[in-house]
Structure 1
Amino acid sequence: MKMTFVKRAAVIAAAGLLSVNVAVAEEKAQSLDQLLQMVKSSKIAESKDHKQREAEFRRQKANQQSMLKQAEKTKAEEEARSARLEKKYEQQELDVNAKRQQLQERLGSLTELFGHLTSTAGDLRTNLSTSIVSAQLPGRAEFLDELIEKMNSATQLPTIEEIERLWYEIQRETIEGSKVVKFTGTVIKPNGEQAEQEVVRIGNFNLVSDGKYLEFVEKGEKMSELTRQPEGAYLSAAADLAAATSGFTRVGIDPTGPSGGSYLSALINSPSLEERWHQGGLVGYIISAVGVFAVLLAIYRAVVLAGVSSKVSAQLKSATPNTNNPLGRVLKVAEDNKGLDGETLELKLEEAVLKERPAIESGLNLLKIISMVAPLLGLLGTVTGMIITFQAITIFGAGDPKAMAGGISGALVTTVLGLVVAIPTVLLHTLVNGRAKRVLHVLEEQSAGIIAENAEKK
């Protein structure tokens, strides 16, 4: 019984040890003795592993101590080396300052000369980068970069040949700027294609090729055809210049060419009449349509009244009334009512004249209304355009005066269109109204004559 209790306690202890142990036996114990043996073997293995780990830790600690000593030794050596280098640097700095002072003393007045040369070379480099002569003679600014670098260096000096070349480039730029020269170059088309073609350089002002003006692109020293060209007269003159071989040829040039060609850019970027007309928008189209209608109506009424006036003039020369004209119809009424008294005949003739008046004055009131409404429509378009412009300024700000001026300019187009329509309409109305009044005056004059003649007979 006691032996059984001991065995049970051993089993419980072994089970506790096995629950703590991480390693799991691959084979199951067949008996308690075998289980105890397995527990003992596990303890021995664990003890051996612990000893190996402790030995590894001691070995690593020893290595760390050795590495620390080596690092401290290296630090001390580098600090000593840094001190030596600092001392050497200070000594070399003193030597450099002494050499510089010696260089300045030996250069003497050349220092001032090099300053002027550097300034001149810098100005020339700027001029050459924007000069259209560089389209024919590329790569001139590279020499100037090297020269400026030498003159600004403390270890290099420019040679006599380089200084003479600077003088030569200044003279060549001046001389080339006074020539009209033909040369072959690469021209970039508006669609991006490149073509080798003959180019005419007009001094330092403009480049023309194939009857069109070119633009000099500073980056890469290339030539590109302007997307928008000047008016046809300038293009034909440019074509004549390209075809000329000698003598004088009249051609348009941009006097601001050496400074960037701002005048030509402003000229070609100015909107044409058609583009300005489109700036008027819907209101501008309405005004234009009203103006065309007014002109056609005025021409039609002028032609009709001219025919009526000629027929009335022919009727004045004839004693027989003809009903194909207003005067003939009025005279016909007088002839049909010869026996009436003067007052009745006067009323009959006034009635006949009143019947003829609407046909003669047809369209005159409409022309008058158009002449008054067209400026009002123009003002309406201007006000709406200004509202849109100020709304854009509210959203995007007034940082771009050019864009703001463009919006105001577009808004004023409708006012111009309104005046352009109103002024000719007023003139046409005056002309047509004068013809109509002439015919009515003849009718009234003849009616009064008939009434007076009838009164004399009685």
Structure 2
Amino acid sequence: MSLRNAMFAFALCGLGIGSALAQNAAPAPQAARPAQGLDRLLDQIREGSQQMSKTNQEREARFLRDKNQQAQLLAEAEGARNAADARAKQAKARYDGAQAGIAALKQQLQGRVGDSAQIFSAVSDAAGALKAQAQDSLVTPQLPTRSAELDQLAQARELPGVDQIEKLWFLYAQEIAENGKVARFKAQVFDDAGQPQQAEVTRIGAFTAFADGRYLAIEPGTGQLTALPRQPSDFTGLIRSFGKDADDQIRDILVDPSRGALLRLAAERPALSERIHQAGAVGYVIIAIGLVGAALAIHQLVYLLLVGRKVGAQLRDLGRPRDDNPLGRVLGCLRGESPDSLRALDTEAIETRLAEAVLRETPKLERYQALLRMIVAAGPLLGLLGTVVGMIMTFQVITELGSGDPKVMAGGISHAMVATVLGLLIAIPLLFANSFLGARSRVLTQILDEQAAGMLARQLEARRSRNADA
């Protein structure tokens, strides 16, 4: 009997004893009932003990059956594992043998190939180099199929044949030959908006290409022709002169050895109007003042040239003064006086009249010179003002964005430099013009003074001679 059964029986005995004691304590009218209760309790304990023994035996039998089954499964698993280990060893042995065979075959192949491997490497490298060059070549749009051929040669995994080596040699020779030709062909050209369109392209070797009067550039890595967004205005005239009938003639044309890079830089140069716009409001003020000064200088220069011509004609005929020139008006200032009134005038009065006539003509001869001198002085000062404004703009940009990118400071620097240049451009020519006008007016004024002094001397001699006769 197991421990659990014994404890169960002990508990039942205790219950029986307790029941018996309770029955003895209570009055029992019948003496046979306690004996029947104990017997029945013993029968129940006996039946329970037998039942538990039977259950334990069944459990032990089932445990033994399960144990035998587990042992059988374990034996089967160990057998399967041993079989798998055997198969793995056999597979490893076959793998090691295959690797050894592959190594032997490789060594045998290398021995048989010899210099062919070097040929294969040389062909692959040469095809790759020509492919990289062709991607940025202006010849590629004319010969678009050669890119696929070069890809096939560069990515080949087998030894090249004689025909493939000859093909590579032909592609190299073709590139060299096309670099020295002027060719025209139909190709796809992308405009400023990125839209493709068919156009007749003229190619100058591998350096320059243009279509519809616009220079073209090759997009790196794609081989596509694109029109430059900004055309170099200094060289567009060469495209127009390079007409379709120029095959038998020698014409000038732009050659860009960088294949478009220098053209892009040349196109980025701002035009004259853009340069003036960079100077801002100060630049427009400088230009306006310069135009006013130039107009005044030209007007006065024309006036002095005409006056000088008339004065020269008057010098050749001093006896007949005319009113169409300053010298004639100075010589004729005493023309309305009678001989008696002239004799009545003293020397100082005659001299005063002549000086008055000369002074009356002098302002017209020296007209605009003071204003031009002011413009000459104001031009550099306005340029300096534009320089200061441009530097303020530059420092403001540096404060906001930093000085890492020089392009962000280009606007302020351009404003400063262009304003300075404009100020000097109006000051220097007007300075020379004003000097020329001053020299020309002094020459005419000197002629007037000389002729006035000569006229006074003649009047004095005439008066002295009349006094001597009297």
Return closer, same or farther for 1:453/1:119 CA change in 2, 3 Å cut-off: same
User: Aligned residue for 1:17?
Assistant: none
Aligned to 2:253, what secondary structure does the other structure show? Answer: coil
Q: Is the 8 A contact 1:121 1:148 kept in 2?
A: yes
Match runs of 1:2-401 below 5 Å: 97=103, 99-150=105-156, 153=157, 156-218=158-220, 220-230=222-232, 231-238=235-242, 240=243, 242-244=244-246, 246-256=247-257, 259-316=258-315, 317-335=317-335, 336=337, 338=342, 339-401=344-406
Q: Is the 8 A contact 2:192 2:229 kept in 1?
A: yes
Return closer, same or farther for 1:88/1:348 CA change in 2, 3 Å cut-off: farther
Q: Is the 8 A contact 2:390 2:415 kept in 1?
A: yes
How far apart in 2 are the matches of 1:365 and 1:381? Answer: 25
Return closer, same or farther for 1:93/1:351 CA change in 2, 3 Å cut-off: farther
> Could you report, residue by residue, the CA deviation over 1:334-354 in whole angstroms, capped at 9, with x for unpaired residues?
454722222333233323322
Q: CA deviation at 1:389?
A: 2.8
Question: Structure 2 counterpart of 1:143, which letter?
Answer: E
How far apart in 2 are the matches of 1:140 and 1:410? Answer: 50
Q: CA deviation at 1:127?
A: 0.9
Instruction: Indicate the RMSD between aligned Cα atoms, in angstroms.
Output: 3.5
Q: Is the 8 A contact 2:179 2:205 kept in 1?
A: yes
Q: Is the 8 A contact 1:206 1:254 kept in 2?
A: yes
How far apart in 2 are the matches of 1:405 and 1:123? Answer: 39
How far apart in 1 are the matches of 2:133 and 2:281? Answer: 48
User: Aligned residue for 1:425?
Assistant: 430
Aligned to 1:254, what secondary structure does the other structure show? Answer: coil
Q: CA deviation at 1:137?
A: 0.7
Return closer, same or farther for 1:237/1:309 CA change in 2, 3 Å cut-off: closer
Return closer, same or farther for 1:250/1:133 CA change in 2, 3 Å cut-off: same
> Could you report, residue by residue, the CA deviation over 1:355-390 in whole angstroms, capped at 9, with x for unpaired residues?
332232110111122223222322332332233234
- Bigger radius of gyration among the two: 2
Q: CA deviation at 1:315?
A: 4.3
Question: Structure 2 counterpart of 1:273, which letter?
Answer: L
Aligned to 1:115, what secondary structure does the other structure show? Answer: helix
Name which of structure 1's ranges 122-131 and 190-199 shifts more when overlaid on structure 2: 190-199
Q: Is the 8 A contact 1:301 1:363 kept in 2?
A: yes
| Count of equivalent residues | 377
How far apart in 2 are the matches of 1:123 and 1:87? Answer: 45
Return closer, same or farther for 1:285/1:141 CA change in 2, 3 Å cut-off: same
How far apart in 1 are the matches of 2:95 and 2:398? Answer: 62
Name which of structure 1's ranges 141-150 and 127-136 shifts more when overlaid on structure 2: 141-150
Q: CA deviation at 1:95?
A: 5.6
Q: CA deviation at 1:409?
A: 4.6
Q: Is the 8 A contact 2:215 2:231 kept in 1?
A: yes
Q: Is the 8 A contact 1:357 1:440 kept in 2?
A: yes
Q: Is the 8 A contact 1:188 1:223 kept in 2?
A: yes
Q: CA deviation at 1:312?
A: 3.5
The unaligned stretches of length 5 or more in structure 2 are 1-72, 465-470
Q: Is the 8 A contact 1:254 1:261 kept in 2?
A: no
> Could you report, residue by residue, the CA deviation over 1:170-215 in whole angstroms, capped at 9, with x for unpaired residues?
1121122222222222223334443333322222222233343322
Q: CA deviation at 1:98?
A: 5.0
Return closer, same or farther for 1:361/1:82 CA change in 2, 3 Å cut-off: farther
TM-score by length of 1: 0.71
Return closer, same or farther for 1:83/1:378 CA change in 2, 3 Å cut-off: farther
Return closer, same or farther for 1:323/1:93 CA change in 2, 3 Å cut-off: same
> Could you report, residue by residue, the CA deviation over 1:10-35 in whole angstroms, capped at 9, with x for unpaired residues?
xxxxxxxxxxxxxxxxxxxxxxxxxx
